[in-house]
Amino acid sequence: MDTLSVNQYIKPMLSKSKNSKIMNSLLAVGTIIWLCYCLRVLVFGLSTFGIDTYGATWGILVVNTIHIIGISHVGIAISAAVRVLKLDKYRNVARIAELVTLIALVIAVINLLLHVGRPDRFIINAFLYGKLHSPLVWSMTVFTLYFLTSFVYLYLSIRRDIYIMSSVAPKYRNFYKFLSFGYQDTSNNIERHDRVLFWLALCLVPIMVSVHSVYGLLFGTISAKVGWHNPLQAPYFVLGAIVSGFSTIIIVSAFLRSSFSWKNLLTDRIFKVFSIILAFVVFLYLYFMLSEHISAQYLPTVSERAASDALLSGRFSLIFWITSIVGLILPLGYLIIQAVRKSEINIGLLTAAAVLINIALWIKRYLLVIPTQYEPFLEHFRPLPVYTPTHTEWAVVLGSYVTAAFIFVWLMKLIPIIEFPMDQSSEIKSQQEIKNNSRKIITLLSLFLGICMILWGILTRDLDFAPVKWITGIIFILIIPMSNCLITDRILVRDEEETTTQLDNHEGDGE
Amino acid sequence: MYSRRKFVKTGSATLIGLAVTAPGVRSLTSKGSDSETQEKCRLAMVIDLDRCLGCHTCSITCKSENGVRLGGFRSHVMEKEVGKYPKVTRAFLPRLCNHCEKPPCEKVCPVGATYIREDGMVDIDKGRCIGCRYCMVACPYGARYFNPRHDSEEAKLFPARIFGTVDKCNFCAHRIDNGVVPACVNGCLANARIFGDINDPESEIGQLKNNEELVSLLPEFETNPNVFYKGGHTKSFTLKKGK
């Protein structure tokens, strides 16, 4: 393997510049502050929040959770599209996107955990006593499915690179060997991984759509809040997720490109295509928004119309119009101009547009969750208190992004952030292998047990422990891709000489 | 290793199997027919608005009986001026949980902490509640409140006030289980609250149901509340405009 070209792919691991050290330290400090605030919420409860029984009962942590889950959307979508449609030109951005997804999901769970009054009971009770009729249990189920499948997908897609790393960085050889879990860089194995990943990618697309649809239904099924009960809520959420996800991927990719001079890896073409997609989805989002407000204005029941009025001309009108114009319409204009021009793409301006769009989407989610809580169907016994988020809430919200960035930077140091191309490895062997039959048995057994457990859970959905059953079923089914890739074939002819030469050649490459 | 065709075949068969079995299962596990539940005891309350003085005794007795936190209410009285000068009057609307037959709060509760008792009363299992407040946003009546504060001293004084959980009126379950009427009914100066089994034609509330015109709040939500109002100006309390 060519050392120079490998070094280019693992630049973040090798980087020891002063700037990166300062940035890492700042992110670490930010993460520690965030953890302190999280601890404060856990110790003192939700009295540290600005939420009130009468007025806003859901605050900005819900807004943030939806936004972060939205960000997680596109990661796997891009990766799945690259794999299923064989878009090899965009392969370099797939790993970045997958990592963004997984980190976003972890941070979203923590946000959700801090939002509930009893984080100590939250996950345990949801799994033990979850009721299928509650949209929150749907979201818990699809979220778990999404997280586990994404994790398996990321691991299987990264396995080969980790294996290559074990020879590139001899200092950490054992660590990477352990992580790669007996990977063999044979053509059969690569082909098998590709096949399994193709199917996983295909399964991930509907799962991903279901996650965001369910989050839309979380609001769409509530008729007690004006403006929430909207049949378009599920596709609206999916669309919002695509917008925020794509803008985040553009921001992260642009940052990595400028930090590590990856102009040849994260090419202008990638940004150009992403900007066109972003322009298209922002346009669709604006179209949905327009359609929502026009239909709301013609509603016969005045109270249902109240939420739309509050945004267009009421208490939230200023924030609504500024967000729509500065955060969506102006960036869309720029993206359209950028798309039709044949000149080189301006990454700086594109990133600025993506940042504006991302912030606008956060505010749009705020405008979905908060204003309606001031419009009760029954008059209240006192004027509803105005919801003002406390510094703890803001710290938890902002800290979530700092922590996500910190985890991302940390993972960048650990695993190759850009997939090694196939020609990067000269170790690919094409030896004769003895097929391992246990793979077939495990696949059939896992599928059978998985389906049985899921069915058992659904059939006994009114009883306790039902979610544990269907989640176990999901885990059983996820054993199929793992076992297919982890169980290795026995190689008949082993080329010892080739392997040892490779290791010797790259002794010290990672230094 | 599965071929793609085999995978698609197995997947389709499983999906079809699920689709066929799921609707049948619902009828197997459903809890009795409508006619069965109608005959059961159904605890309800009628509030005579023509008798209500707006003295808030119900709110105070409720708070002291159930250790309700400051800023939270299981039961309270809304007030409003109705009409225009010179024909103006002050209307009162005592409010509490409606103990709906089809409670939206119970439907959305992810852990089954909100449940319907045999006697029709909607209660919360506070040992199970996770404090997600989904029930609070789902309740069109705003009948629920939240205990956000984590204070060990407070917990000693008011053991019923469990931090991080949602609370609401439960018709003073601890009293009615011992054959005593709820505290607000007991404390009402004007005897404006009538409580009992509405399905019992011999009871006072049963006779009121059969002989008087009773209304419930926000009937358009089809939650079938078990708290009814008699007389007064209930309609003037529904929201007309957000502004």
- A286-310 burial: b if 16+ Cβ within 10 Å, else e: eeebeebbeebeeeeeebbbbbbbb
Exposure letters A14-50 (e unless 16+ CB within 10 A, then b): eeeeeebeeebeebeebbeebeebbeebeebbbbbbb
A122 has a chain B CB within 8 A of its CB: yes
Q: Which residues contact A334 (CB under 8 A, 6 or more apart)?
A: A349, A353
Element (H, E) at A490: strand A490-491
CA pair distance A266, A278, nearest whole angstrom: 17
Of the candidates B22, B128, B240, the beta carbon closest to that of A302 is on: B240
Give the tokens for residue A403: 């922590």
Q: How far does the CA of residue B128 sit from the closest CA of chain A (Å)?
A: 7
Question: By mean pLDDT, which of A82-86, B119-123, B206-210 is the weakest?
Answer: A82-86
| pLDDT, position A421 | 78
Say if CB A182 and CB A441 are below 8 A apart: no
What is the rounded distance in angstroms from the CA atom of residue A98 to the CA atom of residue A102?
Answer: 6
Tell me the range of A59-63, A421-425, B16-20, B68-72 where mean pLDDT is highest: A59-63
Q: How far is the alpha carbon of B179 from chain A, nearest alpha carbon, in Å?
A: 31
Burial of A7 (0-12, 13-18, 19+ CB in 10 A): middle
pLDDT of residue A365: 95
Nearest by CB to A224, from B1, B140, B148: name it.
B140
Residue A490 near residue A434 (C-beta atoms within 8 A) = yes
pLDDT tens track for A372-428: 888 888 776 556 788 999 999 999 999 999 999 999 999 998 888 888 877 655 455
Chain B touched by A155 (CB under 8 Å): no
CA distance A44 to chain B (A): 5
Cα–Cα nearest to A248, from A63, A366, A77, A397: A77
Q: Is B142–A45 a contact, with Cβ atoms under 8 angstroms apart?
A: no
CB contacts < 8 A, A to B, total: 182
The reply to whether residue A381 touches residue B78, judged by beta carbons under 8 angstroms, is yes
Paired strand residues for A490:
A434
* pLDDT of the residue at A483: 87
In this predicted model, which residue has the larger pLDDT, A382 or B140? B140
Distance CA A208, CA A273 (A): 22
Q: What percentage of chain B exceeds 70 in pLDDT?
A: 81
pLDDT at A439: 84
Residues 6+ apart with CB under 8 A from B15: none
CB contact under 8 A, B108 and A222: yes
* A117–B140 C-beta distance less than 8 A: no
Assess contact for A343 and A299: CB atoms under 8 A. Answer: no
CB-closest option in B21, B76, B137 to A57: B137
Alpha carbon distance A344, A332 (integer Å): 18
Task: Say whether A381 and B240 touch across the interface (CB within 8 A).
Answer: no
Mutating which of B96, B130, B152 best tests the A interface, going by the most A Cβ atoms within 10 A?
B130
Inter-residue contact B44 to B196 (CB < 8 Å): yes
Pairing state of beta strands A490-491 and B122-124?
unpaired
Mutate which of A134, A196, A439 to test chain B, going by most B C-beta atoms within 10 A?
Answer: A134
Chain centroid to Cα B35, Å, comes to: 22
In sequence order, the β-bridge partners of residue B145 are: B167
B241, A303: Cβ pair inside 8 Å? yes
Q: For residue A139, give the 3-state DSSP assignment.
A: helix
Report the gap between the CA of B235 and the closest CA in chain A (Å). 10
DSSP single-letter state for residue A224: S
**A58 neighbourhood in chain B, CB within 8 Å:** 133, 137
- Largest Cα separation within chain A, whole Å, is 83
Q: Which residues pair with B36 in a beta bridge?
A: none
Mutate to test the interface with B, among A43, A111, A115, A118 (most CBs of B within 10 A): A118
Q: Is A474 in the B-facing interface, judged by CB distances under 8 Å?
A: no
Query: Quick one: closest CA in B to A378, which residue?
Result: B238
Give the pLDDT band (50/70/90) at residue B32.
very low
**Terminal CA-CA length for chain A:** 16
In chain A, which residue's Cα lies nearest the Cα of B75?
A: A381
CA quadruple B141, B142, B145, B148: dihedral positive or negative? positive
Along chain A (511 residues), what's the average pLDDT of each consecutive run of 10 residues? 68 82 94 96 90 85 94 84 84 90 94 92 90 91 92 91 84 86 82 90 90 92 87 91 93 92 88 93 95 86 78 92 96 92 87 96 94 80 79 96 95 88 58 70 93 94 90 93 81 52 46 37
pLDDT for A302:
67
Per the CB < 8 Å rule, is A53 touching B238?
A: no
**Dihedrals phi, psi of A148, to nearest 5 degrees:** -65, -45
Say what the pLDDT of residue A16 is: 79
Distance CA A219, CA A342 (A): 42
Confidence grade of residue B241 (pLDDT, cut at 50, 70, 90): very low
Q: For residue A302, which residues of chain B lie inside 8 Å, CB to CB?
A: 240-242
Question: What is the average pLDDT across B116-121?
Answer: 93
Q: What is the ipTM of this complex?
A: 0.86
Asked if A379 lies within 8 A of B149 by C-beta distance, the reply is: no
Question: Which two tokens mark B236?
Answer: 């003037």
Question: Can you tell me the distance from the alpha carbon of B228 to that of B217, in angstroms, rounded to the nearest whole number?
Answer: 8
Q: Say yes or no: A188 contacts chain B, CB-CB below 8 A.
A: no
Where residue B56 falls (left for φ over 0; alpha for ψ -120 to 50; beta otherwise) is left
Per-residue confidence (pLDDT) for residue A322, from 0 to 100: 96
CA distance A280 to chain B (A): 33
Q: Which of B22, B109, B164 sits opposite A118 (nearest CB)?
A: B164
Give the SS3 label for residue A463. Answer: coil
Show the 3-state SS of chain B. CCCHHHHHHHHHHHHHHHHHHHHHHHHHHCCCCHHHHHHCCCEEEEEECCCCCCCCHHHHHHHHHHCCCCCCCCCEEEEEEEEECCEEEEEEEEECCCCCCCCHHHHHCCCCCEEECCCCCEEECCCCCCCCCHHHHHCCCCCCEECCECCHHHHHHCCCCCCCCEECCCCCHHHHCCCCCCHHHHHCCCCCEEEEECCCCCCHHHHHHHHCCCECCCHHHCCCCCEEEECCCHHHHECCCCC
Contacts of B242 in chain A (CB under 8 A): 226, 302-303, 305-307, 309-310, 314, 374-375
Say what the pLDDT of residue A177 is: 86
Q: Do B148 and A47 touch (CB under 8 A)?
A: yes
pTM of the model: 0.87
- Choose among A58, A118, A135: nearest Cβ to B108: A135
> B16: how many CB neighbours lie within 10 A of its CB?
10
Decide if A116 and B164 are in contact by the 8 Å CB cutoff.
yes
| Inter-chain touch B242–A377, beta carbons under 8 Å | no
The pLDDT score that the predictor gives to residue A18 is: 87
